[in-house]
Chains A and B, each alone.
Chain A
Amino acid sequence: MSFDPRTATGLEIAAHVRTGRVSAREVVATILAAIEETHDRLNAFTTVTAGRALGEADAVDALVRAGRDPGPLAGVPYSVKNLFDLAGVVTIAGSKINRDDPPAARDATCVQRLRAAGAVCLGAVNMGEYAYDFVTLNAHDGPTRNPRDPARSAGGSSGGSGASVAAGLGALSVGTDTNGSIRVPSSFCGIWGLKPTYGRLSRAGAFPFVDSLDTIGPFARGVADLALAFDAMAGPDPLDPVCAATRPPSLYPTIDDGLAGIRVGRLGGYFATGGAPVVHAAVDHVAAALGATRTLEFPEPALARAAAYVITTAEGGALHRERLRRRAGDFDPATRDRFLAGALTPAAWYLQAQRFRAWWREAVATVFRDVDVLIAPATPIAAPYADQQTLTFAGRELPLRPNIGVFTQPVTLVGLPVVAAPVHLPGELPVAVQLIGAPGTEGALLRVARSLEVAGTCRAPVAEMLPSPVPAR
């Protein structure tokens, strides 16, 4: 039986590496070659840490040879969005300005923890500048292309993460999600993504964007990999002031527990309106598979999006104030004016948005008394062309970039956990649906996701980019 590290999931790779059927070095060498071979077509990686990857792989192989436990992610190759600190690498966060920073002194918390679990870091991947983006058309590093169709956007801002995992350039990637930056690339690239509850995974060592909303999370081609990555990265961290003080329950042991006791509904109203037919067909497809017939609504979803917008612009602008003062001309033109405008936001607007957020958290909690998981589209369209400027929404022609987050942005306002579940309908580009839960219910979300995966309703195949199999021993 041939084993191909490009198409294998992390779970499969770890199983092979842990039992010595394939070495971590072979896995990593195959992926490094594939990164090199596809780079011109995809532009997913901005830094390849080949020496580090081979060193980490050798360390895993040495543990296997010594009969010691190399960890649940033994030899699993992964990338990180280039806003995460990697020791010895400058954390550019998609910008030109940060290139003048010194290299990071140590790894981000999530990277340290993935390494401890046996995973192997391939390097850093492209993103929209400072994460204020949904398309990864980066003015400094160029656009990241979609492996399903290189003429299209991979989504953003974690576009390199989505593209690399969809192309088989690593089983996992770690991205961030503030208003949809994990869920949008998951949708456009047709892979799994997990945006955990706000405060569940440490953001220490990640260049911030909007402190009130930022979360980090994994991309993968299998639900088990989302669980294993989450479990590896979870746990308290004094370096992130909002990271929960207690370790959340492990997700992997329960992913196959089925749907029993989980009430699933679909989000109606705002979330069932507008957008391309394919995104609502994907929701129908998932709802039918789960037998979800009830429709529930979040109150005032448009205002929730408005509040997320105001908080984002105000906090993002304030974060970059000094850089805007000194080097406004060095920002990506696509982000500069928004950050500048954000830096001028009156306090009254921002505080009202925060007040609304507190109110909306309670309103949403009321909805979750009657349901555990809600289904909604992730994006209003499938992957747009790289030069596309508008999208059609509810019969109106709207500017593309500001409206890609129409379905993700409200949900993020109150830090709800979401799994982006990829749907590949025949003859269509893939899109993801959001599986949305109450805070702290990642376990239920992954059980639902796993059921959809087992049934074949949702899947995340590697994009057809000619893998080169490695024979198993």
Chain B
Amino acid sequence: MAEFAYEPEPAGGVVLAPGESAREIAGKSPWRLAGRRLLRNRVALAAAGLFVLIVVVSFGAPLYAEHIAHTDPFANNLNGTTVVDGKKVEVLQQGGGPLKLGETPIGPTWQSNYFLGADNQGRDVMARVLYGGRASLLIGVGSAVLACLAALLLALVAGFFRGPVDMVLSRLMDLIWAFPIFLLAISLATVLLTAPDGLQWGPVHVDPSSLWVPTLIIALVYVPYVYRPVRGQVLSVREKEYVEAAISQGASNVRLMFGEILPNVVTTVIVMLPLMIATTILTESALSFLSIGVQPPKASWGTIIDDGQDLLYSRPWVAIAPGIMIVLTVLSLNVLGDGVRDALDPRAKLRIKG
């Protein structure tokens, strides 16, 4: 799986982007400059547009299912029928030949009902792909945001206090980092999914089939990936003159961390966020494909690919459609991430590792 490495430019003065003159940026705040650079980047804007489109259609899944496909994408329809070109046909069709073995789901009708055909339980694939997008995006965005927030907070604490606090937190992150991501995620998921009564943290109860389970697992395994570069930034910023000045004026630790250091390292997290989302969506899909992410009858792109795996020979669209959605989403987020990086931090190095 692709991983990314982000090497931020040490925080400091305003940097010119390629093709940008000093006059153009004079008197503009860094955020305004970044917005302006992003708006000029047509490729990044197109990627953002694509991502927004995917989000909109995914979150419009209930409307599609109810008003266009007229189906419940989570209920099986094994004995169901549908109308194609005015003819009533069975959703699951008995195999041909003299033996009539097997039941094959209906293929793409390219009509409002069963646009992409049915899966092996007679459910509308198109409606499930859209619903699956909702789950994948929620988990992807949720876990990426959680990972970034947790990493940012821990990095602030570790980088600011240094010493034993830094040592403990950094070794903890090293410990998590030392596990292969999928091994750790699979282990956690297996334990959490088999807990007979779910998870109970004080008054908070998480059912094993809840979307929170994959969200929290994925967030946890990616915290170190964000923590490390941000901690480096915090250590660097903490030595800046303006921080020294604030200390000399008696600013509290909280004020120093959140008022002086945080605004100067948050861009690192913002640059990483789109790429984190892309990565977490891929991770969620992989876990769900292995049946340890989103639990059926809920759908995510990974679970639909899993369902489609057994139909690759006769009904390839069941697996191809969510695959295309994953590719488009990850591609758009990667390109958007590049654009955000160029806008916020033009000299930073960011690369995808195969």
Q: Real complex partners, A and B?
A: no
- B residues within 8 Å of A by Cβ? none
Q: Which residues of A are at the interface with B, using a C-beta cutoff of 8 A?
A: none
